[in-house]
Amino acid sequence: MRERKRIAIIGGGPAALVAADALAPHHEVHVYEQGRSVGRKFLVAGQGGFNLTNSADGPALAAMYSPAGFLNEALGAFGSNAFREWLSELGIETYVGTSGRVFPTKGTKPVEVLNVMRERSLERGVHFHLEHTFVGFDEHTNAIIEHGGARSSLAAHFTIFSLGGASWSVTGSTGTWSGHFAQLGIEVTPFRSSNCGVKIEWPGSFARDHAGKPLKNISVSAGDHSSIGEATITQHGLEGNAIYPVVPALRDAIANGTGALLHLDLKPNNTTDQLLQKIAGKEPKNYAAALNLDRATMALLKAFTTKERFHSPFAFVQDVKGLQLPVTALRPIEEAISTVGGIAPSELAPDFSLKRYASSPLAKWWTGMHQRAVSSCKAAIPWDGTPRMPYLNADRSPAGSFHAIPNSAAFASCFRTFNPARKFAALNATAWLAKDSSVPPSSRSIGWPSRAFSLSPSSWCMPG
Ligand SMILES: Cc1cc2nc3c(=O)[nH]c(=O)nc-3n(C[C@H](O)[C@H](O)[C@H](O)COP(=O)(O)OP(=O)(O)OC[C@H]3O[C@@H](n4cnc5c(N)ncnc54)[C@H](O)[C@@H]3O)c2cc1C
């Protein structure tokens, strides 16, 4: 029988919960969360449409991530379809929306998905330690945990860091953890907004008249990124599911000073010729009705085109199919749905281990990053022996293998191994695996099992 390992998971978001779910049948799992409840950021996930993954799979899914190729193997082994199957096992059925996004069955709220994951973890014997904060590393690179004003070092066979990104800090995702890794000499990159709104200088009274209104079924592109979906007009610019996928191109353009332009196709299901036919012989004042364009869309067109173009049928249709909006900035990181940053990719070997430290042949960690939170958090699947992930089958792995597709759009921080006696791996800016079978718990260490908290349903709410 395989030896049960003691596994510490630090950070209690959805990445931690799926890792715990996968590990608990085989190991003694402890989750350390700084807040009074777990999954607080996930509970706000409903804002703007609660999707769980994208229907793209295989190479198409991998292509959604950067740097190119980095996650191909991980996503090839566990992609969107596998994730949906896993959700279905948990009783969460999903469907694919017109935008390609995958949603839970209508009416399912984030708290329900979170509850299912939490219940499964509790059933599987996971110990939850709330109000336990990771505050750095000791001289042996054990994680130090602070609780009730006292500090102790963690001694575990494996430690998974699933500390989230750096937005919506009220939910616990502060990103301050990256400083602890920087102190070890690991290169970390600053966190920046990823899935976020964009800033556009609205002319005149446009924002006052139209903020809050949606631009539905539009196609958006910037650089070589494009998407179809909905954007909401805000006081500051635009945001929404059609905007987020193109943010990387805009971020680069802003950083390079090359001019960030958003291209909107307000009628993606019609060709230019079709639109021209619909307005043929009509007065400009009747274009809106002819093309079924609402007031906000017409106001947007008027705001970003000239009178001459508006009165020329061909130029007008050209603008409907390709309206250009200059983007001046991304919205602040605190507002972002997800962030990029964390441990620099240059620190990582192809197997996501830290290049500067020797990796052990005894352990292998696979990490990855998924753009959508929950699917991205289907993490750490060691020793479950399921055929769908053959290379994760324990029977083929000498000492154990881990596959992790964690967290938010902030990939960037996976590593392992500080010294030959210890092996570590990180899942994006988020999760991190450590193996230390050689160091027994010291008198300063938190004992195993240490104080465990069970989660009551009432603890599953957003902080006020
Ligand atoms: C408005 C909004 C809408 C969203 N919509 C969606 C959506 O529709 N679909 C979707 O899939 N995703 C959505 N997301 C993103 C999703 O919430 C995140 O991607 C997801 O929560 C990331 O999971 P995680 O476990 O990696 O990190 P987190 O959820 O950030 O969890 C990290 C945990 O680590 C804890 N922690 C941090 N530092 C420490 C420390 N030093 N010691 C101990 N604990 C620590 C934090 O308290 C936190 O609980 C949305 C996010 C927002 C803000």
Assigned token pair, 100: 């390609």
Q: Which residues line ligand 1 (CB under 6 A)?
A: 10-16, 32-35, 40-42, 44-45, 47-52, 133-134, 162-164, 168, 172-174, 177, 337-338, 372-374, 377, 406-408, 430
Q: What is the pLDDT of residues 371-402, one digit of tens each?
A: 233 333 333 333 322 222 222 222 222 222 23
In the predicted model, is pLDDT for residue 220 greater than 80?
yes
- Measured CA to CA, the distance from residue 358 to residue 417 in angstroms comes to 7
CA 111 to centroid of ligand 1, rounded, Å? 13
Return the closest-CA partner of residue 83 out of 397, 368, 338, 337: 368
SS (H, E, C) 359-391: CCCCCEEECCCCCCHHHHCECCCCCCCCCCCHH
Residues near 287 by beta carbon (within 8 Å), at least 6 away in sequence: 279, 293, 298, 316
Per-residue pLDDT, 454: 25
Q: What is the pLDDT of residues 308-337, one digit of tens each?
A: 999 999 999 999 999 999 999 999 999 988
Per-residue pLDDT, 350: 58
74 pLDDT band, cuts 50/70/90, is: low
Query: To the nearest whole number, what is the mean pLDDT of the chain?
Result: 73
Least confident of 171-185, 211-225, 232-246, 447-461: 447-461
pTM: 0.76
In the predicted model, is pLDDT for residue 283 greater than 70?
yes
Per-residue pLDDT, 42: 85
Per-residue pLDDT, 362: 23
CA 145 to centroid of ligand 1, rounded, Å? 20
What residue owns the CA closest to ligand 1's atom 47?
Answer: 172
Per-residue pLDDT, 356: 54
CA 371 to centroid of ligand 1, rounded, Å? 12
Between these two residues, 282 and 355, which has the higher pLDDT value?
Answer: 282
259 pLDDT band, cuts 50/70/90, is: confident
Between these two residues, 236 and 75, which has the higher pLDDT value?
Answer: 236
- Measured CA to CA, the distance from residue 297 to residue 305 in angstroms comes to 12
| For range 271-276, the mean pLDDT | 97
450 pLDDT band, cuts 50/70/90, is: very low
In the predicted model, is pLDDT for residue 129 greater than 90?
yes
Per-residue pLDDT, 346: 75
Q: Is the Cβ–Cβ distance between 389 and 381 less than 8 Å?
A: yes
Assigned token pair, 167: 């937005």
Q: What is the pLDDT of residues 245-257, one digit of tens each?
A: 899 899 989 989 8
Ligand 1 atom, smallest distance to 173 CA: 30
Q: How many percent of the chain have pLDDT more than 70?
A: 70
What residue owns the CA closest to ligand 1's atom 37?
Answer: 163
Q: Is the Cβ–Cβ distance between 331 and 158 less than 8 Å?
A: no
Per-residue pLDDT, 45: 78
CA 280 to centroid of ligand 1, rounded, Å? 51
Domains and CATH numbers, the chain: 6-192+336-459 (3.50.50.60), 198-330 (no CATH)
